[in-house]
Structure 1
Amino acid sequence: MDHTEEIVIVGAGIAGLAVAVGLHRKGLGSVVLESSDKLRAAGFALTVWGNAWRALDALGVGDSLRRNHLRLQTAVVSSASSASLVTKLPAKEHEVRCVRRNLLVEALAGELPHGTIRYSSKVVAMEDSGESKLLHLADGSTLKAKVVIGCDGINSVVSKCLGLKPSTFSGRHAARGFTVLPNGHGMKPEIRHYNGEGFRAGVLPCDEKSLYWFFTWASNEEKERIHDALKLKEFVLGKLKASEIPGQVVEIIEKSELSSVASASLRYRSPLNLLSGNICKGNTCVTGDAFHPMTPDLGQGGCLALEDGVVLARCLGDALCGGGNGEEEHRNRRVEEALKEYEKARKWRAFRLVVGSYAFGFVQESGNWFLRLVRERILAGFMVEWLFIAASFDCGKL
């Protein structure tokens, strides 16, 4: 007979861990199924904006992360074609830090009771089993769940079962890297972005010794992604050296270890699919990239996942805590109502950011002379303000 768990979270990334911690704070246990044999720390770093810090504070891990990451004071955008300053805006009213991903996931995982995360547990299929869901794992075992929360990324099995369409290639790729300079990097606590013809680049300090950098470029074919780290690094450096990007930025990338350089195809969920598709059905829902994969241009992918975690945990916690199990039928109805409430709270928020991020990246990276003129002469300040507007959202407390 299959073992039954109350709440099963598929995936121990940022979204899955945020939901699990939120539920734990609300007094609800969960099981997190992770396909890897250890906690995933890939991705190097991410920009954590004010909306995500509010979510991290609600989850109880904000202060521990603040201690290890610089607060960024200014957003600076320059032209990679002319080396001219496009816009510079203070960020003092907004809390922005570049956070090392491994420290973020470790902080969240550290809040969970021992045994909550089950490693080497890859879900390959899901089917109905009465009022529960039957999860099929890669090792041939099965597990029943009364509630399933899909946090299994851009190729989510759970989102497929809900009928959501696969994500769409954006026509762009990204290179990301991490550089550690033992004697310090000497950079100001700034967000530095450079807009080029057909590419964007940026550098953000995490602390006094480490920096995160990114480079995105347009491409007609997804298969043109560069997998080899050495070739990827050479490609990025070649593009930067042919532009007017400062030598300090080039040097930072040159000093990145190959193990700290990786590429990815940039994909997003069709906005129409976001509005018309099901992000929840019955006792099942999705969060994070399984819900709203987006391009990284607003820096909101991980931030939105943290918001999801708080909102979903609050909805489920309010529905299930304090009232006992009651009759199974009544419990199932409360779960369905809670997930519908979560969907209502999150769908339009995700829609706006997916659309905004795609549009922001398209304009900022375009090589078209007219769009370049518009972004540098007319829209420059507004587009940076757009970053702060996206970060002003408050997902509330648990």
Structure 2
Amino acid sequence: MARSERIVVIGGGIAGLTAAAALHRRGRHVTVLERARSLRPVGAAISLAPNALRALDVIGLGDTIRELAAWSGDGGLRTPRGRWLARSSADAAAERFGGPLVLLHRATLIEHLAAQLPPGTVRTADAATLTDRGDTDRPARVATADGELEADLVVAADGVRSAVRRALFPGHPGAVYCGFTTWRVVIPVPGAEFASHETWGRGHIWGTHPLKDGRVYAYAAAVTPAGGSAPDDERAELLRRFGHWHDPIPAVLAAARPEDVLRHDVHHLAEPLPAHHHGRVALVGDAAHAMPPTLGQGGNQAIEDAVVLAHHCDDLPAYTAARLPRTTAVARQAVKVARLNLMTSRAGTVVRDNAVAALSKAGPALFLRGFDGIADWRPPQHPYASGQAPAGNR
């Protein structure tokens, strides 16, 4: 006979753990099922914008993360030769959006989210399969190696290749290739002193950002066919593509070892889902709205999903109504930005760079307009919202 679990979360990443923490705050019994042997994520950093930090305030974690994170302050956008196209201002961003962007390692965020949960909540090395989505008159069911679980609510946080999404919406085409691949590295770079920056080339992007612990987070992207890999190793591939770009890029590549470099093709949901729920199952994060990383909003939107779902956990249509239009709009904007900053036309990149430089000269506030309606989002009011958030972040 199936055991009764009030809420089952499938997936122990950022989306799943934030949802579990928010639902636990509402007094719900939550079980998190993670198929990996540990919660430690693949080594990379995450940027958290003011919208996500305000969502973390809801579960009492916002200020802790702000204190741990490196502030992604003054910096800007450069060309491969090093010319500044636009300079960013932490003060301008904070004034416009109620707080600046911060950067920290994903593992740090995961550790603090997991610490919000009672011991035994998270079960690792426990793959789960949705066997019944449930309905108003019956619970949902999830199969595990230890038996079947019944749930009043199943939260699907199983990522871009979500098996739960396929089960709920079998007619949906699923995730498709964005047209570019990414590389990421988090390493110490001795003697490195630089302002955070992103560099746009022709069909290529590079970003370099310092972390609070002294390491450097660097990422790259390039337009390339899906499924590719370097003929030797990915560090060598980065050297071929970016080794001649401006400082500190050569220093970062010199400090990296081949095993430090992660490469992943980028996939997204080009066609939005018809809903973010079906029966007693709700989708969060990449399972609901995988998007290109070009706005840095994938993880941020997942955190938003989690606290909004906790707010509407007894009314899943209200959850879909709150999240589907917003995430669809953010995802579409991320696609537009990817087309701009990964442009492959030589003439087009000249026009793009000149336009960005002119926009920047008009004032940093104009350059920040692209995040209006995104970074200024605020979570729904609820009695369990943190009373510790700074006044400017409520």
TM-score with structure 2 length normalisation? 0.87
**Aligned pairs (5 A) from 1:286-305:** 286-305=283-302
Deviations 1:170-189 (A, max 9, x none): 111000111124x663234x
| Shift of residue 64, structure 1, vs aligned partner | 2.0
Match of 2:222 among 217, 220, 223: 217
* CA distance in 1 between partners of 2:25 and 2:129 (Å): 29
Contact kept? 1:14, 1:302, Cα under 8 Å: yes
Corresponding position of 1:366: 343
**Residue type of the partner of 1:301?**
G
CA distance 1:214–1:307, shift in 2 (3 Å): same
Per-residue CA deviations over 1:273-308 (Å, capped at 9, x if unaligned) read: 33xx23211211100010011110000000111111
Distance 1:361 1:128 in 2: 35
User: 1:293, 1:110 → 2: CA distance?
Assistant: 26
Distance 1:273 1:315 in 2: 21
- Amino acid aligned to 2:140: K
Equivalent runs, 1:184-333 vs 2, <5 Å: 185-188=192-195, 190=196, 192-207=197-212, 209-219=214-224, 221-226=225-230, 231-242=233-244, 245-270=245-270, 272-274=271-273, 277-316=274-313
Do the aligned partners of 2:133 and 2:140 also contact (CA within 8 Å) in 1?
Answer: yes
Q: 2:29 is paired with a residue of what secondary structure?
A: coil
Per-residue deviation, residues 164-223 of structure 1 (Å, max 9, x unmatched): 431010111000111124x663234x3x0111111101011111511111000001x312
Q: Following the alignment from structure 1 to structure 2, what is the Cα–Cα distance between the partners of residues 157 and 135?
A: 12
Does 1:161 find its partner at 2:167? yes
Output the CA distance in 2 between the equivalents of 1:7 and 1:208.
Answer: 36
Query: In the alignment, what sits opposite 1:101?
Result: 106
Give distance in 2, aligned partners of 1:156 and 1:395.
Answer: 26
User: How far apart in 1 are the matches of 2:160 and 2:229?
Assistant: 17
Written as runs of structure 1 = structure 2, the 5 A alignment for 1:319-358 is 335=314, 338-358=315-335
Q: Partner of 1:87: helix, strand, or coil?
A: strand
Give the AA of the match of 1:136: A
Q: Distance in 2 between matches of 1:278 and 1:352?
A: 14
- Alpha-carbon displacement from aligned partner over 1:311-347 (angstroms, at most 9, x marks no partner): 111112xxxxxxxxxxxxxxxxxx3xx1111111111
CA contact (8 A) 1:225 1:265 kept: no
Q: Which moves more between the two structures, 368-377 or 290-299?
A: 368-377
**Which residue of the partner structure matches residue 64 of structure 1?**
64
- In structure 2, how many angstroms separate the alpha carbons of the residues matched to 1:384 and 1:78? 16
Contact 1:363 1:371 in 2 (8 A): no
Q: Secondary structure at the match of 2:227?
A: helix
Q: 1:128 to 1:100 in 2, by over 3 A?
A: closer
Matched residue SS, 2:248? helix
Identical-residue share of aligned pairs (%):
25
Is 2:179 the counterpart of 1:171? yes
Distance 1:205 1:360 in 2: 23
SS of equivalent to 2:125: coil
C-alpha contact (below 8 Å) 2:206/2:218 kept by paired residues:
yes
SS in 2 for 1:6: strand
Q: Secondary structure at the match of 1:291?
A: helix
Distance 2:166 2:367 in 1: 34
Structure 1 alignment gaps of length 5 or more: 317-334
How far did 1:61 drift? 1.3
Rounded to whole Å, the distance in 1 between the matches of 2:62 and 2:153 is 28
Unmatched segments (≥5 aa) in structure 2: 360-365, 386-394
Contact 2:243 2:253 survives alignment (8 Å): no
Correspondences of 1:6-45 after superposition (within 5 Å) = 6-45=6-45
Please state whether the residue corresponding to 2:38 is helix, strand or coil: coil
What RMSD in Å do the two structures reach over aligned CA positions? 2.0
In the alignment, which residue of structure 2 is the partner of 1:151? 157
State yes or no: 1:394 paired with 2:372: no
**In structure 1, how many angstroms separate the alpha carbons of the residues matched to 2:229 and 2:311?**
39
Deviations 1:123-168 (A, max 9, x none): 234225671222223x373222221110011111211122043101
Residue 120 of structure 1 pairs with residue 104 of structure 2: no
After TM superposition, give the deviation of residue 383 of structure 1 in Å: 5.8
Answer yes or no: is the 8 Å Cα contact 1:123–1:157 preserved in 2. Answer: no
User: Once the 2 structures are TM-superposed, how far is the Cα of residue 67 of structure 1 from its aligned partner?
Assistant: 2.3
Taking the aligned partners of 1:225 and 1:30, their CA distance within structure 2 comes to: 40
Structure 1 Cα separation of the partners of residues 323 and 19 of structure 2: 14
8 Å Cα contact 2:291-2:331 kept in structure 1? yes
Give the 3-state SS of the residue equivalent to 2:206 in structure 1. strand
CA offsets, 1:335-391, max 9 Å, x none? 3xx111111111111111111111101111112134213321224546654246532
When structure 1 is superposed on structure 2, of 371-380 and 53-62 the one drifting more is 371-380
Contact 2:236-2:258 within 8 A present in 1 as well: no
Q: For residue 339 of structure 2, give the secondary structure of its aligned residue in structure 1.
A: helix
Q: Secondary structure at the match of 1:99?
A: strand
